[in-house]
A and B are shown apart, each in its own frame.
Chain A
Amino acid sequence: MEMELIEKAKRGDVGAFEELIKKHEQRIFNIAYHFSQSVVEAEDIAQDAIVKIFKSLKNFRGESSFSTWVFRIVKNVYFDAGRKSFRRYETALPENFEWMDKKTAEEDLERKELLVSVESAVRALPYKFRMVVVLCDIDGFDYKEAAEILKVPVGTIRSRLSRARAMLKEVLGNFLNGQSV
């Protein structure tokens, strides 16, 4: 079924391509979302990546799974082209981040705030570390898939993830104590 749709889409069948890409859309958007500042921007960038996939489909030869190939292009669009798409969204930690170390504030945190704070910390990671965190910890790709998408060895994924988590743990500090998720 997937191969049939791919062949149709290669011949320019937009409907077949839309059916093919449908199940990946949300994940493509998710990755964009964690590198942008707004849903509108993330959707726009995700759509550009999907259009790129459509235009590049003639080059897909089945050497990897379609899913891996798709996300490799997504990664290329998002980052390899000079990271133009997201460069302007590189952010520093929010100014109010310090308060998370204060015990009084910590006690008042709700689950939602906890998630928002961790999200903010993830957004503040340098992009190559953020990418592995988003792929593996947030979007659920396994190490092998992430390695294929980013075209790096599995060991590099492991080490980047380890460093990224250590950075997050450092930034979030005592905030990770005691609170139930």
Chain B
Amino acid sequence: MNCKTAKSKISDYVDGILETDERILFENHISSCPRCAEDLKKMKKLKDIMGLIQAPALSEDFDRKLHYKLIEAKYRNQGFALERIFDFFRPVSVRVVSISAVAAVVVALIVFSGRRNEVIFVNGPGDFAGYKTASFARVLNVNREGILKLNFVSGKKIKNIELKIELPDGIALADGSRNVEWRGNLRKGNNIVLLKVRGVKVGQWDVRANLRKNSVEKTVERKIFVKPDEI
């Protein structure tokens, strides 16, 4: 074996994959050629060093970020892109729920980004004209505030309505509480409730609103995504 052939076999030799005949020829050459012996020594050392190279360990929040991406991918795969999910919350995507034999209440949930200080309002639409131009936030961010808007569209005036809203673990009111209770009258048309909320935990969460009049009640649930602040 000459030097050129020996050089081409060094890598296979250090990996121990040369056939017996070739290995013997290679070793014979190495024993009589100091330059190739030196090359072999360097190659062995190089391989040893590379075996010691390690990438850093995954960061602590790698799995949390990945989880959010997987959840998002799952819904996109199913044709429920986040945009479409939140489209569903728009007032035009109304859902009629019977609250009594004579009245219909249309409920929609919308997540807005916003900086208003209000914790809760129950009032007519005229008082919230400013929000008509509010930009949509498709998801809430952890540790950031946003406005959760509920619009109860009533077919007629309804007296003595009891409203309860339960926020899940992943979302809280700005003051940290999770339950809202209100009693009053629904006016004909839009009845808007605004909640200043904050993302608490990453995930997909159900916000539950319960309307009750006497013994008749209706519960409406909507999914809200809370995403990591940095994504």
Contact = CB atoms under 8 A, between A and B. Distances in A.
Interface of A: 12, 14, 17-18, 25-26, 29-30, 33-34, 39, 42-43, 47-48, 50-51, 54-55, 114-115, 118-119, 122, 133, 137-138, 143, 158, 161-162, 165-166, 168-169, 172, 176-177, 179, 181
A106 to B, nearest CB: 13
Contact of B70 (A17, A30, A162): A17
Classify chain B: how many residues form its interface, as a range.
35 or more
A181 B46 CA distance: 9
Contact of A169 (B43, B48, B59): B43
A14 B46 contact: no
Contact of A162 (B11, B42, B56, B71): B11
A119 B62 contact: no
A33 B55 contact: yes
Contact of A34 (B42, B48, B55, B57): B55
A31 B53 CA distance: 12
Contacts of A17: 70
A165 B10 CA distance: 10
Nearest to A162: B11
B59 A39 contact: yes
Contacts of B43: 165, 169
B230 to A, nearest CB: 10
Contacts of A137: 47, 50-51
A73 B49 CA distance: 28
Nearest to A176: B42
B66 A168 contact: no
A169 B8 contact: no
Contacts of A55: 73, 77
Interface of B: 7-8, 10-12, 15, 17, 39, 41-43, 45-59, 62-63, 65-67, 69-71, 73-74, 77-78
B15 to A, nearest CB: 8
Classify the secondary structure of A's interface with B. Answer: helix
Nearest to B38: A177
Contacts of B47: 137, 165
Given A114-B49, A158-B17, A50 B66 contact: yes
A14 B70 contact: yes
Nearest to B69: A51
B55 A30 contact: yes
A55 B62 CA distance: 19
A82 to B, nearest CB: 21
Given A118-B50, A165-B43, A18 B12 contact: no
A47 B61 CA distance: 12
Given A50-B66, A137-B50, A12 B17 contact: no
8 contacts: A12-B78, A14-B74, A18-B70, A30-B54, A137-B51, A143-B15, A143-B17, A166-B10
Nearest to B14: A165
A26 B11 contact: no
A51 B73 contact: yes
A39 B15 CA distance: 30
A43 to B, nearest CB: 6
B103 to A, nearest CB: 39
B67 A18 contact: yes
Given A17-B70, A122-B50, A133-B50, A177 B77 contact: no
